């Protein structure tokens, strides 16, 4: 069961670490729990320095998010560890992803991930203002604001730590992971559980916005 977010950034960071421990992320990474927690600990200082604004997951905004990449925890195993608020049914990857295709949905060369294993995502927005907007247009608008699109792992991290973010008619695309075709990954609600699927970049959906963030940060670095 996901604990409620805290107004204190240090406590909130610790809560996110505990959430990953409770969901058995150390086993996915092949690490002992304490070693896994210790590997994330250097990010705490950056979180404390960026966490003055309290999380507001119902409104779709959180100041920072602890992201573990597929290098440590495969998407196929992290998505089933998500649930809707108060729900029991596990999230799932839609069968429209043909075998092996998830490996091709990666951040483009223009998006620099600050660490291959884990990092912080800052100033996260669910992006429901883009519901009903053509995804290509939404992505252009977000780029014009100097913001960055969320990757698949970042989207999973968002609903893992803040399941309240995923609600009917306010679901979101993840334009930060692309495979070289017109598909844009997205997370929405299906069969009373979170689903990782995709939609066409040229097709708008009234219930699907575009998630974004202000920056990414690794331990000991500036915003990037």
Q: For 164-177, how does the pLDDT look when each residue is reduced to its tens digit (9 = 90+)?
A: 999 999 999 999 99
* 3-state secondary structure at position 62: strand
Query: What's the rounded Cα separation, in Å, for the pair 96 and 117?
Result: 27
The ranges assigned to domains in the chain are 9-217
The pLDDT value recorded for residue 167 is 95
Q: What is the pLDDT of residue 2?
A: 60
> Within a 10 A sphere around the Cβ of 110, how many other Cβ atoms?
7
pLDDT for 108 beyond 80: yes
- State both tokens at 190: 């299906």
Q: Count of CB atoms within 10 A of residue 182's CB?
A: 14
| Residue 224 pLDDT grade (very low, low, confident, very high; cuts 50, 70, 90) | very low
Rg of the chain on CA atoms, in Å? 16
Q: What is the mean pLDDT of residues 9-20?
A: 97
Give, to the nearest 10 degrees, the angle between helix 33-40 and helix 9-22: 150
In 3-state terms, what secondary structure has residue 42?
Answer: helix
Per-residue pLDDT at 27 exceeds 80: yes
Task: Indicate whether 1 pLDDT > 70.
Answer: no
The pTM is what? 0.95
Q: Which residue has the tokens 């699109």?
A: 149
Q: Grade residue 59 by pLDDT with cuts at 50, 70 and 90.
A: very high
Residues 74, 97: Cα–Cα separation, whole Å: 15
């Amino acid at each position: 069961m996901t604990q409620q977010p805290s107004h204190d950034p240090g406590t909130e960071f610790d809560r996110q670490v505990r959430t990953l421990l409770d969901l058995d992320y150390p086993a996915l990474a092949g690490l002992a729990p304490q070693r896994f927690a210790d590997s994330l600990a250097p990010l705490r200082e950056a979180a404390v320095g960026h966490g003055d604004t309290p999380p507001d997951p119902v409104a779709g905004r959180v100041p920072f998010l602890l992201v573990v990449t597929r290098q440590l925890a495969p998407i196929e195993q992290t998505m089933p560890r998500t649930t809707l608020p108060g729900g029991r049914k596990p999230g799932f990857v839609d069968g429209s992803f043909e075998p092996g295709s998830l490996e091709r949905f990666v951040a483009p060369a223009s998006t620099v991930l600050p660490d291959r294993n884990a990092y912080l995502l800052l100033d996260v927005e669910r992006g429901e203002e883009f519901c009903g907007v053509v995804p290509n247009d939404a992505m252009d608008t977000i780029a014009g604001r100097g913001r960055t699109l969320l990757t698949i792992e970042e989207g999973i991290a968002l609903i893992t730590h803040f399941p309240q973010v995923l609600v009917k008619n306010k679901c979101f695309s993840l334009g930060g992971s692309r495979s070289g075709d017109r598909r844009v990954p997205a997370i929405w609600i299906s069969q009373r559980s979170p689903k990782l699927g995709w939609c066409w970049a040229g097709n708008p959906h009234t219930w699907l916005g575009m998630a974004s963030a202000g920056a990414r940060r690794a331990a000991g670095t500036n915003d990037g």
